[in-house]
């Protein structure tokens, strides 16, 4: 039997969760003093009925739908031009991770005078920003994975360097999130699976990241428990509103937890996505077991906690590893990077870039460029027996 899950949270920002709550979009805008929002969405959603409806709900809203998957700086520049030309006073970031990230970065950049790359997540570079120049954002996720709706950063691809750069500022956090499961029921099973696995990897890597952060650990564990039960349900029964509700929550939990850190899966997925334009969640889902194998010496104790939580029987590492493989099979996630079009030739380059990726700081087992190149090669070829 399905239950209706509706609530307002103020953690980690204001979240209005529940079916049908997109109808409250005008209230969200007026609560933030937004009269002329720019609605930023993915190219693929331009004509979607839910986007047309959202535009119709807020008088004064205009559409910017030129955000590609893995958004590039040109998308941000074009969005900023539209924002300024339309004298907008806030952003509705509406869509999957790419649209949410782009919308947040456009709002952040709307009142800055320095160039975008000055705000990369390096040291205290975020203090270069003028906080008064950051426009308010209402975030409306239409996938359950990225969790960008509760995140303080946006990922933008620098096409000159072929690197994904993280643009960070604490005030990039959306001020109101409308978490409406009805907006996700049309997602096909493959996208539901790939985005949901991104959320799982956020929780998994955050929990395994070293450091003292029991708040993040608790959120990460519950996120994994929810995904174990509800991601298959959402894939197999797309209109299951309870499953869609809990997956939206789990996605927000993943992004909340990874304030603690991420790890090698994201460190490799970022350069792979930058060079081959692969889907972020799918790339993570493929990479996960190869990184678990490499990290084994450092995470056996933590995997025992996860195995207990997921009610897996037997020796914890083996049980958890087999569960991950079986879960991926059930969700029809490919076994190798080769199956998603990634060649092995650039292993050294991917290894170098992975070692430099900010996510690498959270990897529990020390890894250098050569180690990441080895993991990458194993993931392209499907060799799960990678020596540590
Ligand atoms: Fe991710």
Distance 198 CA to ligand 1 centre (A): 5
Give the pLDDT confidence score for residue 194 in this predicted structure: 98
Query: What values do phi and psi take at 62, rounded to 5?
Result: -125, 155
Q: What is the distance in A from the centroid of ligand 1 to the CA of 97?
A: 9
pLDDT grade, residue 265 (50/70/90)? Answer: very high
CA separation, residue 94 to residues 165, 297, 341 (Å): 21, 41, 29
- Ligand 1 center to 37 CA (angstroms): 27
The stretch 303-321 carries a mean pLDDT of 97
pLDDT for position 162: 85
Quick check: 16 and 178 in contact, CB under 8 A?
yes
- CA of residue 35 to ligand 1 center, whole Å: 32
pLDDT tens digit string along 23-53?
Answer: 999 999 999 999 999 999 999 999 999 999 9
Mean pLDDT of the residues in the chain = 96
How many CB atoms are located within 10 Å of the residue 123 CB? Answer: 7
pLDDT, residue 385, reads 78
Distance 36 CA to ligand 1 centre (A): 31
Whether a cis peptide bond, with omega within 30° of 0, leads into 2 is no
- What is the distance in A from the centroid of ligand 1 to the CA of 85? 33
DSSP character at residue 66: E
Residues around ion ligand 1, judged by CB within 5 A, are: 198
CA of 285 to the centre of ligand 1 (A): 10
- For residue 63, what pLDDT band results from cuts at 50, 70 and 90? very high
Q: Would you place residue 132 in the very low, low, confident or very high pLDDT band (cuts 50, 70, 90)?
A: very high
What is the per-residue pLDDT for 164? Answer: 87
Question: What is the rounded distance in angstroms from the CA atom of residue 106 to the CA atom of residue 98?
Answer: 12
Where would I find the beta strands (DSSP E) of 11-152? 14-17, 37-42, 62-67, 90-95, 137-141
How far apart (Å, rounded) are the C-alpha atoms in residues 92 and 84? 15
How far, in Å, is the centroid of ligand 1 from the Cα of 200?
Answer: 9
CA of 40 to the centre of ligand 1 (A): 20
Three-state secondary-structure class, residue 9: strand
d(CA 29, CA 136): 9
Q: How far is the CA of 319 from the centre of ligand 1 (A)?
A: 24
Q: From the CA of 192, how far away is ligand 1's center (Å)? A: 14
Query: If pLDDT is split at 50, 70 and 90, which confidence band does 4 have?
Result: confident
pLDDT of residue 388: 44
Residue 262 CA to ligand 1 center (angstroms) comes to 9
- Going from the C-alpha of 372 to that of each of 91, 351, 353, the distances in angstroms are 38, 5, 9
Q: Which residues pair with 15 in a beta bridge?
A: 9, 177
Determine the distance separating the centroid of ligand 1 and the alpha carbon of 195, expressed in angstroms: 9
Question: What tokens were used for 338?
Answer: 């080769």
CA 199 – ligand 1 centroid, Å: 7
Strands 37-42, 7-10: pairing kind: unpaired
Distance 60 CA to ligand 1 centre (A): 33
| Model confidence pLDDT, tens digit, residues 163-221 | 889 999 999 999 999 999 999 999 999 999 999 999 999 999 999 999 999 999 999 99
Ligand 1 center to residue 28 CA distance, Å?
A: 27
pLDDT at 387 over 80: no
Cβ proximity of 355 and 369 under 8 Å:
yes
Span from the CA of 348 to the centroid of ligand 1 (angstroms): 22
Cα of 250 vs centre of ligand 1, distance in Å, is: 13
Q: Which two tokens stand for residue 218?
A: 């608790």
Percentage of residues in the chain having pLDDT higher than 90: 95
Q: How confident is the model at residue 2 (pLDDT cuts 50, 70, 90)?
A: low
204 C-alpha to ligand 1 centroid (Å): 11
Give 1's pLDDT tier (boundaries 50, 70, 90): low
Q: What is the pLDDT of residues 232-244, one digit of tens each?
A: 999 999 999 999 9
Q: Per the structure block, which two tokens stand in for 7? A: 């609530």
pLDDT tens-digit readout, 98-128: 999 999 999 999 999 999 999 999 999 999 9
Tell me the CA–centroid distance for residue 310 and ligand 1, in Å. Answer: 21
CA distance 225 to 230: 9
Q: How far is CA 193 from CA 94, 350, 366, 373, 388, in A?
A: 20, 25, 30, 26, 29
Q: How many angstroms does the Cα of residue 146 sit away from the middle of ligand 1?
A: 6
């Amino acid at each position: 039997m399905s239950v209706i899950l509706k609530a307002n949270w103020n953690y980690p920002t204001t979240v209005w969760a529940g079916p049908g709550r997109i109808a409250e979009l005008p209230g969200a805008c007026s609560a933030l003093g937004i009269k002329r929002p720019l609605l930023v969405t993915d190219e693929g959603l331009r004509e979607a009925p839910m986007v047309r409806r959202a535009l119709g709900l807020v008088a004064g809203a205009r559409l910017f739908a030129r955000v590609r998957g893995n958004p590039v700086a040109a998308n941000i520049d074009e969005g900023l031009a539209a924002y300024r030309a339309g004298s907008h006073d806030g952003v509705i970031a509406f869509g999957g991770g790419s649209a949410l990230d782009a919308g947040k970065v456009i709002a952040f950049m709307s009142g800055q005078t320095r160039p975008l790359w000055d705000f990369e997540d390096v040291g205290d570079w975020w203090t270069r920003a003028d906080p008064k120049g950051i426009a308010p954002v209402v975030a409306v996720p239409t996938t359950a994975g990225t969790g960008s709706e509760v995140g303080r950063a946006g990922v933008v691809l620098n096409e000159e360097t072929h690197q994904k750069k993280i643009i960070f500022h604490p005030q990039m956090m959306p001020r109101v999130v409308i978490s409406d499961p009805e907006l996700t029921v049309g997602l096909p099973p493959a996208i539901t699976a790939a985005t949901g696995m991104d959320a799982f990897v956020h929780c998994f890597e955050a929990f395994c990241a070293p450091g003292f952060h029991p708040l993040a650990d608790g959120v990460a564990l519950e996120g994994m428990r929810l995904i174990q039960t509800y991601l298959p349900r959402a894939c197999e029964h797309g209109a299951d509103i309870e499953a869609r509700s809990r997956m939206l929550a789990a996605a927000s939990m993943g992004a909340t937890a990874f304030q603690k850190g991420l790890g090698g899966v994201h460190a490799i997925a970022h350069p792979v996505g930058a060079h081959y334009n692969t889907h972020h969640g799918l790339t993570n889902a493929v990479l996960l077991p190869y990184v678990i194998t490499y990290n084994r010496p450092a995470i056996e104790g933590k995997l025992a906690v996860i195995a207990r939580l997921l009610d897996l029987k037997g020796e914890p590492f083996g049980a958890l590893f087999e569960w991950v493989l079986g879960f991926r099979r059930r969700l029809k996630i490919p076994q190798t990077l080769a199956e998603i079009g990634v060649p092995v030739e650039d292993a050294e380059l991917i290894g170098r870039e992975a070692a430099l990726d900010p996510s690498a700081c959270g990897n529990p087992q020390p890894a250098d460029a050569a180690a990441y190149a080895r993991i990458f090669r194993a993931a392209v070829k499907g060799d799960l027996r990678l020596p540590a």
